[in-house]
Structure 1
Amino acid sequence: MNIIDDKKLSLIMKLAISYVLLLNFVFLFYVFNTDPSSDQTARGAVFTNLLVWSATLYAPLAAFFLYDSWKEQKQYEITKELMIDVITVLSDLYIKIGKAINLAERLKEIDNDKITLQSFINAKELRNVDDLNKIYALIHLYENITGDKALMKYKSNFDKTTFEIETFLTKLDLLYLQYFESLDLKIESNFTRTQTYKKDEKAIVKNNIDAINNIFKNPMPFSNNEIPYDLSFDQSKKNFERSYENFIQKISEILNP
């Protein structure tokens, strides 16, 4: 049963239970405040008036329950729209960075093959601050509506792992650009191209190759709240993917409680 059906059922139960309780009160009031020996017509009139009174009293109560249910459903609909927007922006950013990671990993073979990437990694353009700010704004709005502060933790972790992987990508971008220019490579197609090094070519870019290999082999120093730590490229990639998966999982829990 989805959340809308649950809310409808909850509303029906609230309306039914409240009216039953009100009728019980009317009945008890009638029993304890009506003389059994009095005229039957008079007792009937009293009971009828009590029913009218209960209906009058029930009307604003029912209106309150209906309004409260409408407000909850409207909040859920707004929350759903916000979360869908977050997923859209988040997934687009994840795919964009994921493509850059895949390109970067081709450079792990640069010691064996001359590699011409279909485009430069350009990691400096990947970290779209507008997208990250948009995600923050959507979550902040969600917090104001629901009072739920849990989601921002996942966003902060995604920001952190995004920064880490893009630090690697930025360095690889600069190093590959030097390698690219040293060999005077040309982009001839939309595909990554691997070739055997020609005579003396590898010697020309040996320092570039070593520098690129060092990025993959050696951990890089980072700092979080002034606490230093080291991180490898592969671990950074795993952390980035995990933070995205956890973020999406948390949003799914909000959409499907």
Structure 2
Amino acid sequence: MTEPARPLAELIVLPSAVAPAAATAAEQKRAFLRMMSHELRTPLNSILGFSEILAGELYGPLGAPQYKEYAEIVRDSGLKLLELINQLLELARLEGGLNELEPRREPVACAVEDVVEQLRAESRVAFHPPKRPIAALADPRALRSALCNLVGNALAATSEDRQVRISARAGRARVEIEVCDAGAPVHPDDLPRLLRPFEKPEAGEAGAGRGTLSLALPTAALLCQAMGGDLTLSSPSAGGLVATVRLPAA
């Protein structure tokens, strides 16, 4: 016996029926990220706080000098882990389209100076501001996060006796910020790999020494895209990596 034809209305999934499901999935992602952020950072705060007390011998000498050294290792390892967690959460938010940005007129020099101060790298960064102040149309937090990833990545690739160079310039519709490190050159064919997350470069390969899981550059690229801009990489034959951020001019 042939099954009677079903009404067309029953065969069509209307957008209004899909929207609540999509909204629920997005909210579940937000809740998961909030939970992960809290659950991962809470124990790390204790590790970092108590290791800082021990390393600084706040309540008196620890005794054997090795204890102070070990406390410093614990603190530094905790800071690296916290940085990785922050990058993972940022990457998850960006890939899920969950970042709520509020673009506004943001002075480029102020953003760069804030990042350099945050990284405590004043002596290792040479910033060449433009002759006249320029501003980008960007979300303040996202811009600083992108620059923090780029500058931190550049510092990791640059030896202590050399400097990272930052410059900025404005065109008619775009603002460009360049972050140049003094590390080893990267072959042009290998540059795209640096923008792909979760690829751990081996010694001698593209990006070796530029981050444990190469999350800094992919995260910065996604942040730039979310603000209506982009990030491109180049590597001069003389060496180093040049990361160029292009954002709408304010």
Specify if TM > 0.5.
no
User: TM-score scaled by structure 2?
Assistant: 0.32
User: TM-score scaled by structure 1?
Assistant: 0.31
Structure 1 or 2: more helix by fraction: 1
Structure 1 or 2: more strand by fraction: 2
